[in-house]
Protein backbone atom coordinates (compact mmCIF):
# COMPACT_ATOMS: atom_id res chain seq x y z
CA UNK A 1 0.00 0.00 0.00
CA UNK A 2 2.16 2.92 -1.19
CA UNK A 3 2.00 6.00 0.98
CA UNK A 4 4.11 8.44 -1.07
CA UNK A 5 7.71 9.52 -0.93
CA UNK A 6 9.27 10.46 2.41
CA UNK A 7 9.75 14.18 2.84
CA UNK A 8 12.68 14.46 5.24
CA UNK A 9 13.45 17.51 7.32
CA UNK A 10 15.86 19.15 4.90
CA UNK A 11 13.83 20.38 1.95
CA UNK A 12 15.12 22.47 -0.91
CA UNK A 13 14.35 26.08 -0.02
CA UNK A 14 11.77 27.75 -2.28
CA UNK A 15 13.09 30.32 -4.75
CA UNK A 16 14.36 33.40 -3.01
CA UNK A 17 14.95 31.74 0.35
CA UNK A 18 18.59 31.93 1.42
CA UNK A 19 18.56 29.77 4.51
CA UNK A 20 16.69 28.62 7.54
CA UNK A 21 16.61 29.17 11.26
CA UNK A 22 17.02 26.21 13.54
CA UNK A 23 14.44 25.32 16.12
CA UNK A 24 15.24 26.68 19.55
CA UNK A 25 15.23 24.42 22.59
CA UNK A 26 13.00 27.01 24.20
CA UNK A 27 9.85 26.06 22.35
CA UNK A 28 7.79 28.66 24.17
CA UNK A 29 9.92 31.55 22.89
CA UNK A 30 8.12 33.82 20.44
CA UNK A 31 10.08 35.83 17.86
CA UNK A 32 11.05 39.16 19.39
CA UNK A 33 10.10 41.52 16.58
CA UNK A 34 7.17 43.53 15.34
CA UNK A 35 6.05 40.75 13.01
CA UNK A 36 2.39 39.83 13.40
CA UNK A 37 1.72 36.65 11.37
CA UNK A 38 -2.01 36.76 12.12
CA UNK A 39 -2.43 40.26 10.67
CA UNK A 40 -0.19 39.43 7.70
CA UNK A 41 -2.15 36.31 6.87
CA UNK A 42 -5.47 38.14 7.10
CA UNK A 43 -4.15 40.85 4.79
CA UNK A 44 -2.96 38.27 2.23
CA UNK A 45 -6.34 36.51 2.46
CA UNK A 46 -8.20 39.75 1.70
CA UNK A 47 -9.60 40.24 5.20
CA UNK A 48 -10.43 43.92 5.56
CA UNK A 49 -9.94 44.67 1.86
CA UNK A 50 -12.40 42.34 0.10
CA UNK A 51 -15.71 42.87 1.82
CA UNK A 52 -18.13 41.01 -0.41
CA UNK A 53 -16.94 38.83 -3.32
CA UNK A 54 -20.37 37.29 -3.85
CA UNK A 55 -21.71 39.90 -6.33
CA UNK A 56 -18.71 39.27 -8.60
CA UNK A 57 -19.17 35.51 -8.39
CA UNK A 58 -22.91 35.91 -8.99
CA UNK A 59 -22.36 38.09 -12.06
CA UNK A 60 -19.88 35.65 -13.58
CA UNK A 61 -21.94 32.59 -12.65
CA UNK A 62 -24.99 34.00 -14.40
CA UNK A 63 -22.88 34.49 -17.53
CA UNK A 64 -21.52 30.93 -17.33
CA UNK A 65 -20.93 28.45 -14.49
CA UNK A 66 -17.31 28.15 -15.68
CA UNK A 67 -15.18 31.27 -16.17
CA UNK A 68 -11.80 31.31 -17.91
CA UNK A 69 -9.30 34.00 -16.94
CA UNK A 70 -7.67 35.70 -13.99
CA UNK A 71 -9.99 37.37 -11.48
CA UNK A 72 -7.37 39.26 -9.46
CA UNK A 73 -8.37 42.56 -11.06
CA UNK A 74 -11.99 42.04 -9.98
CA UNK A 75 -11.00 41.88 -6.31
CA UNK A 76 -7.93 44.09 -6.18
CA UNK A 77 -5.68 41.41 -4.69
CA UNK A 78 -4.02 38.20 -5.80
CA UNK A 79 -6.13 35.16 -5.05
CA UNK A 80 -4.53 32.63 -2.72
CA UNK A 81 -5.66 29.21 -1.64
CA UNK A 82 -5.80 27.91 -5.21
CA UNK A 83 -3.15 26.28 -7.37
CA UNK A 84 -0.95 28.72 -9.23
CA UNK A 85 -0.58 28.44 -12.98
CA UNK A 86 2.60 28.46 -15.00
CA UNK A 87 3.03 31.60 -17.03
CA UNK A 88 0.70 31.61 -20.01
CA UNK A 89 -1.72 28.99 -18.69
CA UNK A 90 -5.27 30.26 -18.28
CA UNK A 91 -6.91 29.48 -14.93
CA UNK A 92 -10.54 28.37 -14.88
CA UNK A 93 -13.02 29.23 -12.12
CA UNK A 94 -15.81 26.76 -11.38
CA UNK A 95 -18.74 28.80 -10.05
CA UNK A 96 -22.04 26.90 -10.43
CA UNK A 97 -23.21 24.30 -7.93
CA UNK A 98 -23.55 21.44 -10.43
CA UNK A 99 -20.18 22.23 -11.99
CA UNK A 100 -18.43 22.41 -8.58
CA UNK A 101 -19.96 19.10 -7.54
CA UNK A 102 -18.90 17.51 -10.83
CA UNK A 103 -15.29 18.67 -10.48
CA UNK A 104 -14.93 17.60 -6.84
CA UNK A 105 -16.46 14.20 -7.53
CA UNK A 106 -14.06 13.45 -10.41
CA UNK A 107 -10.62 13.12 -8.84
CA UNK A 108 -9.18 11.38 -11.89
CA UNK A 109 -9.89 14.30 -14.21
CA UNK A 110 -9.30 17.06 -11.66
CA UNK A 111 -6.19 16.12 -9.71
CA UNK A 112 -5.11 17.51 -6.35
CA UNK A 113 -1.43 16.86 -7.11
CA UNK A 114 -0.80 20.45 -8.18
CA UNK A 115 -0.59 21.37 -4.51
CA UNK A 116 2.70 19.45 -4.40
CA UNK A 117 4.51 22.32 -6.13
CA UNK A 118 2.88 25.06 -4.07
CA UNK A 119 1.96 24.68 -0.41
CA UNK A 120 3.16 21.07 -0.49
CA UNK A 121 6.71 22.45 -0.51
CA UNK A 122 6.15 23.62 3.05
CA UNK A 123 3.51 21.25 4.40
CA UNK A 124 5.16 18.10 3.08
CA UNK A 125 3.39 15.32 1.20
CA UNK A 126 -0.02 15.53 2.84
CA UNK A 127 -3.54 14.28 2.19
CA UNK A 128 -4.26 17.61 0.51
CA UNK A 129 -2.24 16.74 -2.61
CA UNK A 130 -2.92 13.01 -2.82
CA UNK A 131 -4.96 11.31 -5.53
CA UNK A 132 -6.34 7.77 -5.55
CA UNK A 133 -5.39 5.13 -4.60
CA UNK A 134 -2.79 6.74 -2.30
CA UNK A 135 -5.37 9.16 -0.89
CA UNK A 136 -7.75 6.34 0.09
CA UNK A 137 -5.00 4.38 1.87
CA UNK A 138 -3.69 7.39 3.76
CA UNK A 139 -7.17 8.57 4.73
CA UNK A 140 -8.05 5.12 6.07
CA UNK A 141 -5.09 5.32 8.43
CA UNK A 142 -5.77 8.91 9.53
CA UNK A 143 -9.47 8.19 10.14
CA UNK A 144 -8.48 5.78 12.91
CA UNK A 145 -7.84 8.87 15.03
CA UNK A 146 -11.31 10.35 14.37
CA UNK A 147 -13.61 7.63 15.69
CA UNK A 148 -17.01 8.30 17.29
CA UNK A 149 -15.53 7.22 20.65
CA UNK A 150 -12.67 9.70 20.25
CA UNK A 151 -15.12 12.45 19.33
CA UNK A 152 -17.21 11.83 22.45
CA UNK A 153 -14.08 11.85 24.59
CA UNK A 154 -12.78 15.09 23.03
CA UNK A 155 -16.12 16.81 23.55
CA UNK A 156 -16.36 15.89 27.23
CA UNK A 157 -12.69 16.11 28.21
CA UNK A 158 -11.38 18.91 25.99
CA UNK A 159 -13.88 20.99 24.02
CA UNK A 160 -16.42 21.74 26.76
CA UNK A 161 -13.79 22.57 29.42
CA UNK A 162 -11.88 24.84 27.01
CA UNK A 163 -15.02 26.69 25.90
CA UNK A 164 -16.36 27.03 29.45
CA UNK A 165 -13.04 28.33 30.75
CA UNK A 166 -12.92 31.03 28.08
CA UNK A 167 -16.56 32.05 28.57
CA UNK A 168 -16.10 32.19 32.36
CA UNK A 169 -13.51 34.93 31.87
CA UNK A 170 -16.14 37.35 30.55
CA UNK A 171 -19.44 35.86 31.75
CA UNK A 172 -19.86 38.33 34.64
CA UNK A 173 -18.59 41.34 32.70
CA UNK A 174 -21.69 41.90 30.56
CA UNK A 175 -19.74 42.51 27.36
CA UNK A 176 -17.17 40.72 25.21
CA UNK A 177 -15.62 40.44 21.78
CA UNK A 178 -16.69 36.93 20.87
CA UNK A 179 -14.04 36.58 18.17
CA UNK A 180 -11.04 37.70 20.20
CA UNK A 181 -12.09 36.16 23.51
CA UNK A 182 -13.66 32.87 22.44
CA UNK A 183 -14.06 31.90 18.79
CA UNK A 184 -10.47 32.66 17.73
CA UNK A 185 -8.60 31.02 20.66
CA UNK A 186 -10.75 27.98 21.37
CA UNK A 187 -10.12 25.80 18.25
CA UNK A 188 -6.31 26.04 18.42
CA UNK A 189 -6.43 25.33 22.15
CA UNK A 190 -8.58 22.27 21.45
CA UNK A 191 -6.17 21.03 18.77
CA UNK A 192 -3.18 21.55 21.06
CA UNK A 193 -4.83 19.49 23.79
CA UNK A 194 -5.92 16.81 21.30
CA UNK A 195 -2.28 16.50 20.25
CA UNK A 196 -1.12 16.38 23.86
CA UNK A 197 1.03 19.52 23.55
CA UNK A 198 2.10 21.35 26.72
CA UNK A 199 -0.12 24.37 27.37
CA UNK A 200 2.93 26.64 27.43
CA UNK A 201 3.75 25.64 23.84
CA UNK A 202 0.37 26.67 22.40
CA UNK A 203 1.20 30.34 21.64
CA UNK A 204 4.34 29.53 19.64
CA UNK A 205 2.64 26.51 18.00
CA UNK A 206 -0.20 28.77 16.84
CA UNK A 207 2.21 31.43 15.64
CA UNK A 208 4.37 28.99 13.67
CA UNK A 209 1.29 27.39 12.15
CA UNK A 210 0.04 30.75 10.89
CA UNK A 211 3.53 31.72 9.65
CA UNK A 212 3.49 28.49 7.66
CA UNK A 213 0.38 29.52 5.72
CA UNK A 214 1.54 33.12 5.16
CA UNK A 215 3.85 31.94 2.38
CA UNK A 216 2.21 34.24 -0.17
CA UNK A 217 3.59 37.32 1.63
CA UNK A 218 6.72 35.94 3.32
CA UNK A 219 7.95 32.69 1.84
CA UNK A 220 11.19 32.61 3.84
CA UNK A 221 9.37 32.91 7.15
CA UNK A 222 6.93 30.21 6.04
CA UNK A 223 9.81 27.91 5.08
CA UNK A 224 11.50 28.41 8.44
CA UNK A 225 8.23 27.77 10.26
CA UNK A 226 7.88 24.50 8.32
CA UNK A 227 11.31 23.34 9.50
CA UNK A 228 10.59 24.42 13.07
CA UNK A 229 7.35 22.44 13.12
CA UNK A 230 9.11 19.39 11.69
CA UNK A 231 11.69 19.35 14.49
CA UNK A 232 9.07 20.06 17.12
CA UNK A 233 6.73 17.28 16.05
CA UNK A 234 9.45 14.74 15.31
CA UNK A 235 10.60 14.86 18.93
CA UNK A 236 7.06 14.34 20.22
CA UNK A 237 6.37 11.48 17.77
CA UNK A 238 9.48 9.66 18.96
CA UNK A 239 8.27 10.00 22.55
CA UNK A 240 4.77 8.74 21.67
CA UNK A 241 6.10 5.74 19.73
CA UNK A 242 8.11 4.75 22.80
CA UNK A 243 5.43 5.59 25.38
CA UNK A 244 1.95 6.10 23.88
CA UNK A 245 -0.48 8.41 25.64
CA UNK A 246 -4.16 9.19 25.25
CA UNK A 247 -3.69 11.78 22.50
CA UNK A 248 -3.98 12.17 18.74
CA UNK A 249 -0.25 11.93 18.01
CA UNK A 250 -0.07 8.61 19.86
CA UNK A 251 -2.99 7.24 17.83
CA UNK A 252 -1.35 8.32 14.56
CA UNK A 253 1.99 6.86 15.64
CA UNK A 254 0.37 3.50 16.42
CA UNK A 255 -2.18 3.38 13.57
CA UNK A 256 -1.89 0.37 11.28
CA UNK A 257 -3.81 -0.96 8.29
CA UNK A 258 -2.85 -4.12 6.41
CA UNK A 259 0.57 -4.01 8.05
CA UNK A 260 1.20 -0.41 6.97
CA UNK A 261 1.96 2.35 9.46
CA UNK A 262 2.37 6.07 8.99
CA UNK A 263 5.96 7.32 8.79
CA UNK A 264 7.16 10.29 10.83
CA UNK A 265 7.12 12.43 7.68
CA UNK A 266 3.52 11.49 6.88
CA UNK A 267 2.38 12.24 10.42
CA UNK A 268 4.21 15.58 10.43
CA UNK A 269 2.70 16.57 7.07
CA UNK A 270 -0.77 15.90 8.52
CA UNK A 271 0.00 17.81 11.71
CA UNK A 272 1.28 20.80 9.74
CA UNK A 273 -2.01 20.77 7.84
CA UNK A 274 -4.15 20.35 10.95
CA UNK A 275 -3.82 23.92 12.19
CA UNK A 276 -4.96 25.76 9.03
CA UNK A 277 -7.44 23.02 8.09
CA UNK A 278 -8.86 22.71 11.59
CA UNK A 279 -8.34 25.74 13.82
CA UNK A 280 -8.48 28.46 11.14
CA UNK A 281 -11.61 27.19 9.41
CA UNK A 282 -13.46 26.35 12.63
CA UNK A 283 -12.83 29.75 14.19
CA UNK A 284 -13.97 31.46 10.99
CA UNK A 285 -17.05 29.30 10.39
CA UNK A 286 -18.28 29.67 13.97
CA UNK A 287 -17.66 33.44 13.80
CA UNK A 288 -19.59 33.66 10.52
CA UNK A 289 -22.48 31.72 12.02
CA UNK A 290 -22.61 34.00 15.07
CA UNK A 291 -22.58 37.05 12.78
CA UNK A 292 -25.52 35.59 10.87
CA UNK A 293 -27.42 34.98 14.11
CA UNK A 294 -26.60 38.34 15.71
CA UNK A 295 -27.70 40.24 12.60
CA UNK A 296 -30.94 38.24 12.49
CA UNK A 297 -32.18 38.54 16.10
CA UNK A 298 -35.39 36.61 15.42
CA UNK A 299 -33.37 33.59 14.32
CA UNK A 300 -31.00 34.02 17.27
CA UNK A 301 -33.97 33.93 19.65
CA UNK A 302 -35.51 30.94 17.88
CA UNK A 303 -32.27 28.99 18.26
CA UNK A 304 -31.86 30.05 21.87
CA UNK A 305 -35.34 28.71 22.65
CA UNK A 306 -35.01 25.52 20.59
CA UNK A 307 -31.51 24.06 20.54
CA UNK A 308 -32.69 21.21 18.31
CA UNK A 309 -32.34 23.77 15.49
CA UNK A 310 -28.57 23.84 16.01
CA UNK A 311 -27.62 21.34 13.25
CA UNK A 312 -29.55 23.26 10.58
CA UNK A 313 -28.22 26.58 11.88
CA UNK A 314 -24.65 25.29 11.54
CA UNK A 315 -25.25 24.01 8.00
CA UNK A 316 -26.89 27.28 6.97
CA UNK A 317 -23.96 29.26 8.37
CA UNK A 318 -21.55 27.09 6.39
CA UNK A 319 -23.60 27.46 3.21
CA UNK A 320 -24.09 31.20 3.56
CA UNK A 321 -20.52 32.14 4.49
CA UNK A 322 -17.99 29.29 4.09
CA UNK A 323 -14.72 30.08 5.87
CA UNK A 324 -12.72 28.81 2.88
CA UNK A 325 -14.52 29.79 -0.33
CA UNK A 326 -12.05 28.31 -2.87
CA UNK A 327 -9.88 25.23 -3.28
CA UNK A 328 -7.61 24.25 -6.16
CA UNK A 329 -7.43 21.44 -8.68
CA UNK A 330 -5.54 20.84 -11.94
CA UNK A 331 -7.07 19.41 -15.11
CA UNK A 332 -5.36 16.06 -15.80
CA UNK A 333 -6.79 15.92 -19.33
CA UNK A 334 -8.77 18.06 -21.75
CA UNK A 335 -12.30 18.19 -20.37
CA UNK A 336 -15.51 20.07 -21.07
CA UNK A 337 -17.59 21.43 -18.18
CA UNK A 338 -20.85 23.28 -18.87
CA UNK A 339 -19.81 23.70 -22.51
CA UNK A 340 -16.41 25.23 -21.64
CA UNK A 341 -13.24 23.40 -22.70
CA UNK A 342 -10.66 23.22 -19.90
CA UNK A 343 -7.30 22.20 -21.42
CA UNK A 344 -5.04 19.65 -19.76
CA UNK A 345 -2.74 21.31 -17.22
CA UNK A 346 -5.07 24.21 -16.50
CA UNK A 347 -5.26 25.34 -12.87
CA UNK A 348 -8.83 25.15 -11.66
CA UNK A 349 -10.25 27.25 -8.82
CA UNK A 350 -13.25 25.47 -7.35
CA UNK A 351 -15.40 28.23 -5.85
CA UNK A 352 -17.48 26.59 -3.15
CA UNK A 353 -18.59 29.99 -1.93
CA UNK A 354 -20.17 30.78 -5.28
CA UNK A 355 -21.74 27.31 -5.56
CA UNK A 356 -23.38 27.80 -2.16
CA UNK A 357 -25.17 30.94 -3.41
CA UNK A 358 -26.32 29.44 -6.72
CA UNK A 359 -29.87 30.78 -7.22
CA UNK A 360 -30.80 27.76 -9.34
CA UNK A 361 -30.50 25.64 -6.19
CA UNK A 362 -31.50 27.96 -3.34
CA UNK A 363 -34.24 30.60 -3.18
CA UNK A 364 -33.06 33.95 -1.82
CA UNK A 365 -29.59 32.43 -1.68
CA UNK A 366 -27.84 35.55 -0.33
CA UNK A 367 -29.94 35.55 2.86
CA UNK A 368 -29.01 33.77 6.08
CA UNK A 369 -32.04 31.63 6.91
CA UNK A 370 -31.70 28.70 9.28
CA UNK A 371 -35.28 27.68 8.50
CA UNK A 372 -34.68 27.01 4.80
CA UNK A 373 -34.96 23.46 3.46
CA UNK A 374 -31.67 21.68 4.06
CA UNK A 375 -29.70 20.72 0.95
CA UNK A 376 -26.15 19.54 0.38
CA UNK A 377 -23.73 22.48 0.35
CA UNK A 378 -20.09 22.48 -0.77
CA UNK A 379 -18.36 24.07 2.24
CA UNK A 380 -16.78 20.78 3.32
CA UNK A 381 -15.94 20.05 -0.34
CA UNK A 382 -17.34 16.88 -1.91
CA UNK A 383 -16.28 13.50 -3.21
CA UNK A 384 -13.08 11.71 -2.13
CA UNK A 385 -11.58 14.81 -0.50
CA UNK A 386 -14.64 15.73 1.57
CA UNK A 387 -13.37 17.25 4.81
CA UNK A 388 -11.96 14.62 7.16
CA UNK A 389 -12.62 16.79 10.21
CA UNK A 390 -16.17 17.94 9.43
CA UNK A 391 -17.74 16.03 12.33
CA UNK A 392 -15.18 17.51 14.73
CA UNK A 393 -15.87 21.00 13.37
CA UNK A 394 -19.62 20.57 13.80
CA UNK A 395 -19.18 19.30 17.35
CA UNK A 396 -16.85 22.15 18.33
CA UNK A 397 -19.20 24.72 16.84
CA UNK A 398 -22.20 23.22 18.63
CA UNK A 399 -20.45 23.45 22.00
CA UNK A 400 -19.24 27.02 21.43
CA UNK A 401 -22.53 28.40 20.09
CA UNK A 402 -24.55 26.75 22.87
CA UNK A 403 -22.29 28.38 25.46
CA UNK A 404 -22.79 31.77 23.80
CA UNK A 405 -26.57 31.32 23.63
CA UNK A 406 -26.62 30.70 27.39
CA UNK A 407 -25.58 34.35 27.91
CA UNK A 408 -28.84 36.20 28.75
CA UNK A 409 -30.14 38.94 26.45
CA UNK A 410 -27.24 38.54 24.02
CA UNK A 411 -27.04 41.13 21.22
CA UNK A 412 -24.55 43.08 19.15
CA UNK A 413 -23.16 46.15 20.88
CA UNK A 414 -25.12 49.02 19.26
CA UNK A 415 -22.11 51.32 19.72
CA UNK A 416 -19.96 49.08 17.50
CA UNK A 417 -19.37 50.45 14.02
CA UNK A 418 -19.59 48.53 10.76
CA UNK A 419 -19.23 44.95 11.99
CA UNK A 420 -19.02 42.74 8.91
CA UNK A 421 -17.47 39.64 7.34
CA UNK A 422 -14.62 40.14 4.89
CA UNK A 423 -11.95 38.19 3.02
CA UNK A 424 -11.38 36.34 -0.24
CA UNK A 425 -9.24 33.26 0.48
CA UNK A 426 -10.58 33.02 4.04
CA UNK A 427 -13.63 34.88 5.39
CA UNK A 428 -14.65 35.96 8.88
CA UNK A 429 -15.53 39.06 10.89
CA UNK A 430 -12.60 40.70 12.66
CA UNK A 431 -14.71 41.31 15.76
CA UNK A 432 -18.10 40.51 17.26
CA UNK A 433 -18.62 42.94 20.17
CA UNK A 434 -21.68 41.89 22.17
CA UNK A 435 -23.60 42.91 25.26
CA UNK A 436 -25.50 40.60 27.60
CA UNK A 437 -27.00 40.64 31.08
Cα(359)–Cα(78) distance, rounded to whole angstroms? 27
Residues in a beta bridge with 55:
none
Which pLDDT score, from 0 to 100, does residue 1 have? Answer: 35
Domain of 344, in residue numbers: 49-435
Vertex 184 angle, CA 142 and 214, to 5°: 70
Look at residue 36 and tell me if it is in a domain: no
pLDDT band at 65 (very low <50, low <70, confident <90, very high): very high
Which pLDDT score, from 0 to 100, does residue 282 have? Answer: 94
Residues in a beta bridge with 329:
348
Look at residue 2 and tell me if it is in a domain: no
Look at residue 341 and tell me if it is in a domain: yes
pLDDT tens digits for 394-423? 999 999 999 999 999 999 999 999 999 999
Which percentage of the chain shows pLDDT scores above 70?
Answer: 89
pLDDT band at 127 (very low <50, low <70, confident <90, very high): confident
Look at residue 26 and tell me if it is in a domain: no
Which pLDDT score, from 0 to 100, does residue 7 have? Answer: 46
pLDDT tens digits for 254-295? 988 778 888 999 999 999 988 777 788 999 999 999 999 999
Assess whether the previous peptide bond of 283 is cis (omega < 30° from 0).
no
User: Is the Cβ–Cβ distance between 306 and 299 less than 8 Å?
Assistant: no
Look at residue 43 and tell me if it is in a domain: no
pLDDT tens digits for 8-44? 444 555 554 444 444 444 343 444 456 677 777 777 7
Q: Which of 159, 152, 147 is nearest to 399 (CA)?
A: 159
Cα(231)–Cα(228) distance, rounded to whole angstroms? 5
* CATH number reported for the structural domain that contains residue 177 in this entry: 1.10.630.10
Which pLDDT score, from 0 to 100, does residue 156 have? Answer: 97
Residues in a beta bridge with 435:
175, 411
pLDDT band at 101 (very low <50, low <70, confident <90, very high): very high
Look at residue 252 and tell me if it is in a domain: yes
Look at residue 298 and tell me if it is in a domain: yes
| Cβ atoms < 10 Å from Cβ of 137 | 18
Q: How many domains does the structure of the chain reveal?
A: 1
Which pLDDT score, from 0 to 100, does residue 62 have? Answer: 96
Which pLDDT score, from 0 to 100, does residue 4 have? Answer: 38
Cα(312)–Cα(316) distance, rounded to whole angstroms? 6
Which pLDDT score, from 0 to 100, does residue 29 have? Answer: 41
Look at residue 22 and tell me if it is in a domain: no
| Average model confidence (pLDDT) across the chain | 87
Of 68-72, 249-253, 299-303, give the lowest mean pLDDT range: 68-72
Question: How far is residue 413 from each of residues 176, 285, 329, measured CA to CA in Å?
Answer: 9, 21, 42
Amino acid sequence: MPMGKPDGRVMEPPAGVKGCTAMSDATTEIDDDSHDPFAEFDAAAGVGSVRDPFPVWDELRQQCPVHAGNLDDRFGIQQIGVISADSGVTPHHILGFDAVQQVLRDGETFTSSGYEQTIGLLFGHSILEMDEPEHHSYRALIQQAFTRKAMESWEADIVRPVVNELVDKFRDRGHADLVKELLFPFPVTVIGKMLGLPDDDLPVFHRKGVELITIISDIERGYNASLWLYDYFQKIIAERRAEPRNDLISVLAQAELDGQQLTDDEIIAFLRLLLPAGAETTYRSSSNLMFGLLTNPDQLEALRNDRSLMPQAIEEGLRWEPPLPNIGRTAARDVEIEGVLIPKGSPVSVCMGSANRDATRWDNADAFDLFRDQKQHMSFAFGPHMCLGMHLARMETTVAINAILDLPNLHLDPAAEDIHISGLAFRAPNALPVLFD
